[in-house]
Amino acid sequence: MLCGMQAHDGPLTRLRKSHEQSVLDLLRKHGPLSRAELGAHSGLSRTTLYDIVAGLVEGGTVVAATPPAEVRRRGRPVEKLSLNPHAGEAVGIDFARRAVHVSAINVAHEMIGSASEAHAPGLTWNQRADIAERLLGSLGGAPPRGAAAHGSAPRGASAGRAPRRGTLRLGALSAIGVGVVGPLIDVGGTDAREGSLDGLPGLLHERFGVPVLLDNNTRLAALAEAVWGAAADSGDVLYVRLSHGVGGGLVVGGSLHRGMYGMSGEFGHVTVDPDGVPCQCGGTGCLETVASIDAVLQRYRAAGGRAEDVTAFLAAAASGDDTAHAVLARAGTAVGTVLAAVCNAVGPGVIVIGGELAEAGATLIEPVERALHTHVMPLVRDRVRVRRATLGEAGSALGGIALVLHESPLLSRYPQPATEEHA
Amino acid sequence: MLCGMQAHDGPLTRLRKSHEQSVLDLLRKHGPLSRAELGAHSGLSRTTLYDIVAGLVEGGTVVAATPPAEVRRRGRPVEKLSLNPHAGEAVGIDFARRAVHVSAINVAHEMIGSASEAHAPGLTWNQRADIAERLLGSLGGAPPRGAAAHGSAPRGASAGRAPRRGTLRLGALSAIGVGVVGPLIDVGGTDAREGSLDGLPGLLHERFGVPVLLDNNTRLAALAEAVWGAAADSGDVLYVRLSHGVGGGLVVGGSLHRGMYGMSGEFGHVTVDPDGVPCQCGGTGCLETVASIDAVLQRYRAAGGRAEDVTAFLAAAASGDDTAHAVLARAGTAVGTVLAAVCNAVGPGVIVIGGELAEAGATLIEPVERALHTHVMPLVRDRVRVRRATLGEAGSALGGIALVLHESPLLSRYPQPATEEHA
């Protein structure tokens, strides 16, 4: 489901927006400029330009400053205009199972920051939106140096939980990309998840007053890894996430792939053991029943291991616990077997493994690679590369931003935001 | 591997070709036209138009005819020009394991016909090209009524073995699309097939004097089914062919998918039985070891069945032979299980099953559907449709034509023909 909420703009508003965009593009390209310089570059009349600039300054997108005395020429100081590094242009929100993650980029397409907060299960969408709003308010520090949101990994993405100076100004916001758990079939349709998403786009639109795009959060993480992360060099990417659920996403021939009905990348529900245990999807012996956090913890405990949660389990694995290693090897083997099948079918260049379990590193990745190499076509064996995800828990929120920007060639064939109102 | 052979055209040749194309487009659109009418529609000068038309008539692309006496007005009869229905614009050749299949469309993009010939194993490329040339020479009858090559299935495609009147004129040929067996990795690279393909494009280019595009023949069959065949209504298609080998192809988000390194759709080498028999690919227990013609025949004979070849086996199945049904059920179950995995990963709308074994109909298809429904995500179960291929053995040759035309939106992201010489 890709829900777009867009106010219907009249032609005058559109013209104004186009002028604003020209001004912002010039400031992005040239850095600080005076009004006279902006006028010369943009070709706008003095009256129009002053009006547009006034609006941008008032909205917080652009800041005006006079250069320090020592660099001034004689005469009246010339005010320079520049992009406000605290003005968010696009925001990504990931409503994960029990946590909310947010990321924001500024009008110069630089990373402002990311933030996360865990929460109890069973919260309403309103409560979860509260958390998102609070987290966004906590952003707004200076952007990490050199962390452009295009072409390179937005550094600082996973270090976003540290308190930040300043406050993100949402006045310049153009859109919000939102990731949610579970397969999304049809706009407004019913699906297998607890609760309905029907109210979410409207609720967020009401709070933030900008278009809201909704997609599966694992697919958004795949997008982010392909745009800025571990697979930024490949147009054919298979991403699998080993978290509370097991899911993934595909970038196929340079495009993020949704699949018919929005169903794709559901690697977690490929059968790996026809005699296995029931899966929440209704199937039996799905990969998720072997390689999710819960499945791994359950097996670890059944084998006598003691771990309160996945963090404790990963610590045990890191300390050389044989039981933990055996459990990870079994999960990794199942993952590699499924990846081999998908690999034969789709032929990716890079496989990216993300989610909390990927933090086990080689203990998990090596069994994945062994099973992959055993089952994938020999001709492909040495051509496909397996890598760990690099964007961490912020991945889906960053993918939300990538979705909203809709500028990556990866999205050239992805559905465009709908302009219909959707309640 | 996509090998293009293209003569380097100068700007004058390109201009002439563009004029020729305008004239052909007008004749395609309006039917027979006089030179005066062509001049009025095309905007070309009288001198240029007469020159262009003369070349087209000489090359056999256009034929000139005076209308019968009873429809003539008084005065000098006006000669009308029309497209020559026997002039091939594009030709597809499928060099299958032990047969050559050809198809041709005329300059009006109507199907001229298809033809096939089985041959002994071990022929040289020269010998196989001889067969292709002879088969093409046997085409050239009147095109089947209403069989436009775009938008509807080219009828008569599988009935093409009947002798035909007339002879295909290759003077107007623009390109040849060629399907070959086996995965194609890298241009000019070595691969696992017997013999090299290196000489093939050059050999065909020399014989026919037009660009030659080479691709995997099963992928071309997938393309043809998606353009004109069983899945012409879907942009997300999974095609699997059960023949001497088991392979397939993917149409993903409205585009034919090659995969990184040209490897994709290799469903035949997905492991279905880790304890199974060795596969020619180097793996163990691949789908091909269970669901290829040879695997099915071997199992049938081991269970006491007697069948000289696949035709005899299919006849036995059609007559209700329990052993044949059991063998087909086993193969179909394996196919359905692999399709379910790929389905979860890719999310197609239509699955097309082709190849000789698909001719068994429900005896094969029903076990496929049962296994698919057992293993695919419940949310998808009722949304994906399984269909038999409709283009028969001409499928790959037709796909070669589709590749050459490169007009289908399905190919919008497919590599364009290379213009480098490739020896």
Chain B residue with Cα closest to A374: B283
Answer yes or no: is pLDDT of A224 > 50.
yes
A162 band by pLDDT with thresholds 50, 70 and 90: very low
Task: Note whether A234 and A214 are within 8 A (CB).
Answer: no
* C-beta atoms of A344 and B253 within 8 A: no
Chain B contact set for A263 (CB, 8 A): 344, 347, 377, 379-380, 383
Low-confidence ranges of chain B (pLDDT < 50): 1-8, 142-165, 186-195, 417-423
Higher per-residue pLDDT: A5 or A21: A21
A88-223+395-411: CATH, from 3.30.420.40, 1.20.1050.10, 3.20.20.10, 3.40.50.300:
3.30.420.40
A216/chain B closest Cα distance in angstroms: 14
Segment A105-125 shows an average pLDDT of 87
The span from the first CA to the last CA of chain B, in angstroms, equals 14
How confident is the model at residue B145, as a pLDDT? 38
The b/e string for B257-272 (b: 16+ C-beta within 10 A; e otherwise) is bbbbbbbbbbbbbbbb
Distance, in Å, from the CA atom of A298 to the CA atom of A306, rounded to the nearest integer, reads: 10
Which positions ≥6 away from A364 have C-beta within 8 Å? A242, A328, A331, A332, A353, A357, A358
- From the list A222, A199, A196, A172, the residue with the least C-alpha distance to A350 is A222
ipTM of this complex prediction, to 2 decimal places: 0.72
Tokens representing residue A405 in the block: 């920007």
A3 band by pLDDT with thresholds 50, 70 and 90: very low
Which fold does the domain A11-83 belong to in CATH? Arc Repressor Mutant, subunit A (1.10.10)
Which positions ≥6 away from A368 have C-beta within 8 Å? A332, A333, A335, A336, A339, A353, A386
How confident is the model at residue B293, as a pLDDT? 97
Q: Can you say whether residue B259 is alpha, beta or left, with left for phi > 0 and alpha for psi between -120 and 50 degrees?
A: left
- In B119-187, beta strands by DSSP E: 175-180
How confident is the model at residue A129, as a pLDDT? 93
Q: At what angle do helices B125-138 and B199-208 cross, to 10 degrees?
A: 40
* C-beta atoms of A234 and B260 within 8 A: yes
Q: Hey, do B1-229+393-423 and B233-389 end up sharing a CATH topology, with the first three levels equal?
A: yes
The span from the first CA to the last CA of chain A, in angstroms, equals 14
Distance, in Å, from the CA atom of B209 to the CA atom of A209, rounded to the nearest integer, reads: 62
* C-beta atoms of B347 and A263 within 8 A: yes
Largest CA distance in chain B: 85
**Highest averaged pLDDT of the listed ranges A7-16, A169-178, B42-51, B357-366:** B357-366
- From the list B198, B204, B294, the residue with the least C-alpha distance to B243 is B294
Class of domain A231-389: alpha beta
- From the list A165, A262, A272, the residue with the least C-alpha distance to A214 is A262
Chain A residue with Cα closest to B411: A253
A193 band by pLDDT with thresholds 50, 70 and 90: very low
The b/e string for A332-357 (b: 16+ C-beta within 10 A; e otherwise) is bbbbbbbbbbbbbbbbbbbbbbbbbb
| CATH for the stretch B233-389 | 3.30.420.40
pLDDT in tens, A248-295: 999 887 778 888 777 788 999 999 998 999 998 888 999 999 999 999
Distance, in Å, from the CA atom of B147 to the CA atom of B156, rounded to the nearest integer, reads: 8
Which positions ≥6 away from A339 have C-beta within 8 Å? A238, A240, A267, A351, A368, A371, A372, A376
How confident is the model at residue A38, as a pLDDT? 92
Domain ranges of chain B: 1-229+393-423, 233-389
DSSP notation for B315-350: HHHHTT-HHHHHHHHHHHHHHHHHHHHHHHHH--SE
Q: By CB neighbour count within 10 A (0-12 exposed, 13-18 middle, 19+ buried), where does B64 fall? A: middle
Which positions ≥6 away from A71 have C-beta within 8 Å? none
How confident is the model at residue B319, as a pLDDT? 97
CATH superfamily of B1-229+393-423: ATPase, nucleotide binding domain (3.30.420.40)
Higher per-residue pLDDT: B77 or A121: A121
Instruction: Report CA Rg, chain B.
Output: 23
Q: Which of B250, B260, B270 should be substituted to probe chain A, the one whose Cβ sees the most A Cβ atoms within 10 Å?
A: B260
Write down the mean pLDDT value for chain A.
Answer: 82
328-387 in chain B: CB under 8 A from chain A: 337-338, 340-342, 344-349, 374-375, 377-380, 383-384
How confident is the model at residue B97, as a pLDDT? 87
- From the list A219, A205, A50, the residue with the least C-alpha distance to A129 is A205
Segment A55-63 shows an average pLDDT of 86
Answer yes or no: is pLDDT of A225 > 80.
yes
Distance, in Å, from the CA atom of B394 to the CA atom of B139, rounded to the nearest integer, reads: 14
* C-beta atoms of B375 and A270 within 8 A: yes
CA atoms within 13 A on the CB side of A97: 10
* Helix or strand (DSSP H, E) at A154: none
Which positions ≥6 away from A39 have C-beta within 8 Å? A45, A46, A49
* C-beta atoms of A185 and B378 within 8 A: no
How confident is the model at residue A51, as a pLDDT? 92
Please give the C-alpha separations between residue A127 and each of A131, A136, A201, A212, in angstroms, as whole numbers. 7, 14, 14, 18
Helices (H), A118-167: 125-138
181-210 in chain A: CB under 8 A from chain B: 183, 185, 191-192
**DSSP single-letter state for residue B412:** T
Distance, in Å, from the CA atom of A318 to the CA atom of A300, rounded to the nearest integer, reads: 14
Angle at A412 between CA A410 and CA A414, to 5 degrees: 90
